[in-house]
Amino acid sequence: GGVTTIDPGFKNTGSCESAITFLDGEKGILRYRGYSIEELAEKADFLEVAFLLIFGELPTKEELLKFEQDIKEQSVVDDDVKKIVDAFPKSAHPMGVLSSLTSALTAFNPSSVNVDSEEDVYNTVCKIMGKFPVLVAWTMRKQKGLPLDYGDDSLGYVENILKMMFKKPNQEYTQNPILVNALDKLLILHADHEQNCSTSTVRIVGSSHAGLFASLSSGISALWGPLHGGANQAVLEMLEGIKEDGGDTKKYMAKAKDKQDPFRLMGFGHRVYKNFDPRAKIIKKAADEVLADLGIDDPVLDIAKGLAEEALSDPYFVDRKLYPNVDFYSGIIYRGMGIPTEMFTVMFALGRLPGWIAQWKEMRNRKEPIGRPRQIYIGENLRPFKSITER
């Protein structure tokens, strides 16, 4: 028989059992595999967290070294992929480019769809962990008209990402440890967030037994939207818009509260966090540190602070439990680092990669059935066909 109730947006529908991420939206708790996000952000690095999410335990020294080495070995992207990158117009949105390139990787690595053994899966995981940062860097470099290079094996995972993104031709590249540390933190904070829109997409696409890279490509498309990962770009564009309009935060607060006006305060509110977003707390501190260290005095940051203060004491936002989310502050750090606004959601994808992989792997290991929701039909009843001359 058919279903009699629906749950639009799955606000109250569980889709799976999962042992990866624990989230308590009322209390503002986020844990990966039982470890608190606060502790991980402070004490772990991104690759350790990736290993933890994907394989379930923190790696030993040897395991981490091996993982890092195996990733490096797999980090060469077929040179022909550069032709695909070149075929995009410079104006293409980086998320569209990244999703296409991730999907294209299947064509260049056909064995990546094998899941017959643990070893097959491990190799595919190392492949995507190695190649994805190259795709991210190429996506940005293409936009800036910079040559497409490969990474530097002597560097750590996150150091290498920054160098691949920013290295100029014929110039020495010097690492800024403050930026490396901030990016490491940002990636950790974004690494997983249980059954959000993009993760559910990865699981549902993967549930048809499409390969990992195809599933990830769909996840990237889901993340692109402004109600999800695209919010970090939207936040910055909103803040800049307010600045250009004279910096009147009160005017925009009023717009956000006006039900006739589609404007929303980007970076505010969350489907699950109804108290505070623990990631936002950590990231706000990191944003202050990075900007102070870089000596950046950004008027956009003052507007952000003003909005946050007003919203936190405004009954509209308080009653609806709308608090600044992770994306409210992440864009400010990315901007300080010199990352173009359109690349912000790509950086989110880079961080979310291990989470998507972990969730896909869990779904396959648990032999979950194909995802196939039901519906309540509200269309026409049976009607006779009218030939085109009668219409």
Residues marked as catalytic:
270, 327
- Report angle CA 374, 375, 376 to the nearest 5 degrees: 145
320: contact with ligand CMC by CB under 6 A = yes
267: contact with ligand CMC by CB under 6 A = yes
Least distance CB 139 / ligand CMC (angstroms): 20
Q: Are 231 and 267 in contact (CB under 8 A)?
A: yes
Here the contacts of 129-132 (C-beta below 8 Å, separation 24 or greater) are: 129/50, 129/71, 129/74, 129/353, 129/354, 129/357, 130/71, 130/72, 130/73, 130/74, 130/75, 130/76, 131/74, 131/75, 131/76, 131/77, 131/105, 132/102, 132/350, 132/353
Piece of the chain touching ligand CMC by CB under 6 A; list 84-92, 177-185, 265-273, 302-310:
265-273
Measured from the CB atom, is 37 or 125 closer to ligand CMC? Answer: 37
Of 59, 219, 269, 351, the one binding ligand CMC (CB under 6 A) is 269
Piece of the chain touching ligand CMC by CB under 6 A; list 104-112, 163-171, 269-277, 370-378:
269-277
Of 131, 185, 270, 284, the one binding ligand CMC (CB under 6 A) is 270
Here the contacts of 292-301 (C-beta below 8 Å, separation 24 or greater) are: 293/178, 294/178, 294/336, 296/336, 298/332, 298/335, 298/336, 299/243, 299/247, 300/236, 300/239, 300/240, 300/243, 300/332, 300/335, 301/332
Measured from the CB atom, is 109 or 325 closer to ligand CMC? Answer: 325
Least distance CB 152 / ligand CMC (angstroms): 31
**The pair of three-digit structure tokens given for residue 56, joined into one six-digit string:** 């379930």
Piece of the chain touching ligand CMC by CB under 6 A; list 25-33, 159-167, 222-230, 245-253:
222-230
Here's the x/- map for ligand CMC, 239-258, by CB under 6 A: it reads as -----------------x--
> Which residues touch 169 (CB under 8 Å, ≥6 apart)?
146, 147
> Which residues touch 178 (CB under 8 Å, ≥6 apart)?
289, 290, 293, 294
Of 66, 243, 271, 364, the one binding ligand CMC (CB under 6 A) is 271
Q: Rounded CA gap, 135 and 116, in Å?
A: 27
351: contact with ligand CMC by CB under 6 A = no
**Helices 212-224 and 344-365, packing angle to 10 deg:** 140
Measured from the CB atom, is 3 or 318 closer to ligand CMC? Answer: 318
Piece of the chain touching ligand CMC by CB under 6 A; list 172-180, 294-302, 318-326, 375-383:
318-326
Q: Rounded CA gap, 201 and 191, in Å?
A: 16
Nearest to 211 by CA among 93, 92, 148, 120: 120
268: contact with ligand CMC by CB under 6 A = yes
3-22 positions binding ligand CMC, by CB under 6 A: 9
274: contact with ligand CMC by CB under 6 A = no
By beta carbon distance, the residue nearest ligand CMC is 269
Piece of the chain touching ligand CMC by CB under 6 A; list 18-26, 206-214, 228-236, 333-341:
228-236
Q: In angstroms, what CA-CA distances link 29 with 52, 193, 311? A: 18, 11, 22
Least distance CB 328 / ligand CMC (angstroms): 7
Of 71, 187, 239, 266, the one binding ligand CMC (CB under 6 A) is 266
Least distance CB 212 / ligand CMC (angstroms): 22
233: contact with ligand CMC by CB under 6 A = no
Number of neighbouring beta carbons within 10 Å of residue 155: 17
231: contact with ligand CMC by CB under 6 A = yes
Piece of the chain touching ligand CMC by CB under 6 A; list 33-41, 90-98, 209-217, 263-271:
263-271
Least distance CB 124 / ligand CMC (angstroms): 26
In DSSP terms, 268 is beta-bridged to 324
> Which residues touch 67 (CB under 8 Å, ≥6 apart)?
47, 51, 59, 126
**Helices 46-55 and 344-365, packing angle to 10 deg:** 30
Of 159, 327, 342, 362, the one binding ligand CMC (CB under 6 A) is 327
Of 221, 325, 330, 345, the one binding ligand CMC (CB under 6 A) is 325
Residues that bind ligand CMC (CB under 6 A): 9, 193, 196, 227-229, 231, 256, 264-271, 320, 322, 325-327
